[in-house]
A and B are shown apart, each in its own frame.
Chain A
Amino acid sequence: MTARGSQSRFLQSVLRNGVGRYVCQLKRISIIFSKKAQGSLGVREFIEEGVVDYAKKNPSTVVYVSPQTSRIPKIVAEYLNGNVREEIVTNKTSPQILELLTKLTNQSGLEIVRIRKPFHTDSPSIQGQWNPFTNRPPSIGPIRPQKQDSP
């Protein structure tokens, strides 16, 4: 809630993803649902229609579908950096679940916390960062080789 009390991070990308090749950061998707409950209706519809297309479109993501009785329908997304995100999908329709899955696919696995600055550079200063001697004239002249008076 407070800035010091909650976590924050700087804006970053995962190993400059996208500069060269783009690697989808989503490792694994587990869809947990129940075969009979009415909250999992949307999930069951999605599994009938949309799961196979989704899995074919994202070949680098492994999709697990596990029916478990009397469990709240959940989608557990695991990312390449180890973060796990769980989303509860009770009473969601099939297109809503597809939208949720595309959102999870496009995310990198970094934590969703306050981002301190909306920009990031590796080279913030081109002309040299200001130091107290920047705008001061030099106190000694240019350094020249010593004059040796030897005939």
Chain B
Amino acid sequence: MVFLSLSCWIRSRGPDRYWKVQEVLKHARHFRGRKNRCYSLAVRAVRRALVYATKSRKLKKRNMRTLWITRIAAASREHGMKYPALMHNLTKSSVQLNRRVICDLAVTEPRSFLSLATLARARQQEGFRAALGDGKEPSGVLSRVVLLQ
């Protein structure tokens, strides 16, 4: 008796499974629990991670802006002004600094930020005088708009 059909039952499956699995697991190595070792759990976790990464590109911009606004508000409250008043009066005095730069100044150059706050306060007082005084006093220094031709 010769067993000839035994060798026909041996199948050669795909030779690349190890590398395909490692391609997914390498993105999961810094995860917590069995998600960093077991392929079926890791596939789901890696997909979620990549989806979060794409979604958070927009969120990062939003979060950074709210962080800057929080910091500017805190710094201006130290000098007795509120954030909306500060920003509005700075734009009215044509100081074109964005929130990122003003936040950096508040952190690393506190005296420059103090000067910005005093400028905004002076412009605010001028605005109040112009609104309440009604015409008899001349308009203030900071509210004269320079027209560059």
Cβ-defined contact, A5 with B108, below 8 A: no
A125 touching B53 in the complex, CB below 8 Å, given contacts A1-B27, A5-B30, A135-B78: no
- Interface size on A (CB < 8 Å)? 14
- Chain B residues within an 8 Å CB radius of A127: 108-112
State whether the Cβ of A134 lies closer than 8 Å to any Cβ in chain B: yes
State whether the Cβ of A140 lies closer than 8 Å to any Cβ in chain B: no
A2 touching B108 in the complex, CB below 8 Å, given contacts A135-B78, A135-B79: no
A5 touching B79 in the complex, CB below 8 Å, given contacts A127-B110, A128-B110, A129-B107: no
Cα separation A62 to B108 with both chains bound (whole Å)? 46
State whether the Cβ of B50 lies closer than 8 Å to any Cβ in chain A: yes
Q: For this complex, into which size category does the number of interface residues on chain B fall?
A: 10 to 19
Cα separation A128 to B106 with both chains bound (whole Å)? 11
- Chain A residues within an 8 Å CB radius of B50: 1-2
In residues 81-108 of chain B, which contact A (Cβ within 8 Å)?
A: 106-108
Cα separation A126 to B112 with both chains bound (whole Å)? 10
Cβ-defined contact, A129 with B53, below 8 A: no
Contact of B108 among A1, A4, A130, A135 (CB under 8 A): A130
Contact of A125 among B75, B79, B108 (CB under 8 A): B108
Cα separation A128 to B49 with both chains bound (whole Å)? 40
Cα separation A127 to B114 with both chains bound (whole Å)? 12
Q: How many A-B residue pairs have CB under 8 A?
A: 38
Cβ-defined contact, B79 with A126, below 8 A: no
- Chain A residues within an 8 Å CB radius of B52: 2
State whether the Cβ of A124 lies closer than 8 Å to any Cβ in chain B: yes
Cβ-defined contact, A124 with B108, below 8 A: yes
- Chain B residues within an 8 Å CB radius of A128: 110
- Chain A residues within an 8 Å CB radius of B49: 1-2, 5
Cα separation A141 to B49 with both chains bound (whole Å)? 57
Cα separation A4 to B27 with both chains bound (whole Å)? 10
- Chain A residues within an 8 Å CB radius of B27: 1-2, 5
- Chain A residues within an 8 Å CB radius of B53: 1-3
Interface string of A1-14 (1 = CB under 8 A from B): 11111000000000
- A→B interface (CB under 8 Å): 1-5, 124-130, 134-135
A–B pairs, 24, beta carbons within 8 Å: A1-B50, A2-B27, A2-B49, A2-B50, A2-B52, A2-B53, A4-B30, A5-B27, A124-B108, A125-B108, A126-B108, A126-B109, A127-B108, A127-B109, A127-B111, A127-B112, A128-B110, A129-B108, A130-B106, A130-B107, A130-B110, A134-B110, A135-B78, A135-B110
Instruction: Identify 14 new A-B residue pairs, CB closer than 8 A, beyond the known A2-B27, A130-B75.
Output: A1-B49, A1-B50, A2-B50, A2-B53, A5-B27, A5-B49, A127-B108, A127-B110, A128-B110, A129-B108, A134-B110, A135-B78, A135-B79, A135-B114
